[in-house]
Amino acid sequence: MTHIYISNRRGQAQPGSSGMPVVGYEIRLVDDSGQEVPAGVPGQLRVSGASAATGYWCRSQETRRSFEGEWFRSGDMYVRSQDGRYTYLGRAGDMFKVGGEWVAPAEVEAVLMDHAGVLEAVVVGRPREDGLLEPAAYVVPVRDAELDEVALGQHCSDHLAGFKRPREVVVVDQLPKTATGKIKRSAVREWAHGAPVAVA
């Protein structure tokens, strides 16, 4: 898009919110069928504005996936409040449904890392025997800290709705990362699907 299209304003910022649309840009939140969702319901972000690219250089397939007329499919999930503020929930490919409700891994991870004994955390959808998904967390404890898993479970219960709470917390020595230090969420998903895990 080559320009900021959602932003907080001086004196109007709210913690956790990305803000409101910038003048000159239109924002839509849609479901899987492309229908707009109401306030309070997570949706896939579409944005339109004069600064939008016409496509990706020499990447025609990705251009077809990402550009829909004047609208750009960002790949991000957001939710809009009643007063028009937008809150980022994560990448669309990272979110998953539990009991028909969207779970934003970033929200659960923030709660886990708010616990004094947790240094890093990743939450992914783990398949159950019936094929449905449930939240599973992989956490790296603070160095030399004894992670009280019972207390951590209570911490999650105090701050998360029941369907968002991890059904299992796996303590690991480290999380898989790219050369630039970004967590490889795809590798953690492989753990959740049965690949060997280097546990602490």
For the stretch 100-132, pLDDT in tens is 888 999 999 999 999 999 999 999 999 988 888
Q: Is residue 200 part of a domain?
A: no
Q: Is residue 138 part of a domain?
A: yes
The domain total for the chain is 2
* pLDDT, position 200: 57
* Domain shared by 38 and 107, yes or no: no
| Distance from C-alpha of 200 to C-alpha of 198, rounded to nearest angstrom | 7
Per mean pLDDT, which range of 87-101, 117-131, 185-199 is the poorest? 185-199
Which of 48, 75, 91 terminates a domain? The answer is: 91
* Domain shared by 130 and 59, yes or no: no
Q: Judge whether residue 37 has pLDDT over 80.
A: yes
Q: Within its chain, how far is the Cα of 51 from the centroid?
A: 26
The domain of 67 spans 6-91
* Domain shared by 174 and 133, yes or no: yes
Residues forming beta bridges with residue 183, ordered by sequence position = 177
* pLDDT, position 148: 86
Q: Is residue 198 part of a domain?
A: no
Instruction: Report the C-alpha dihedral over residues 184, 190, 196, 200, rounded to 10 degrees.
Output: 40
* pLDDT, position 142: 93
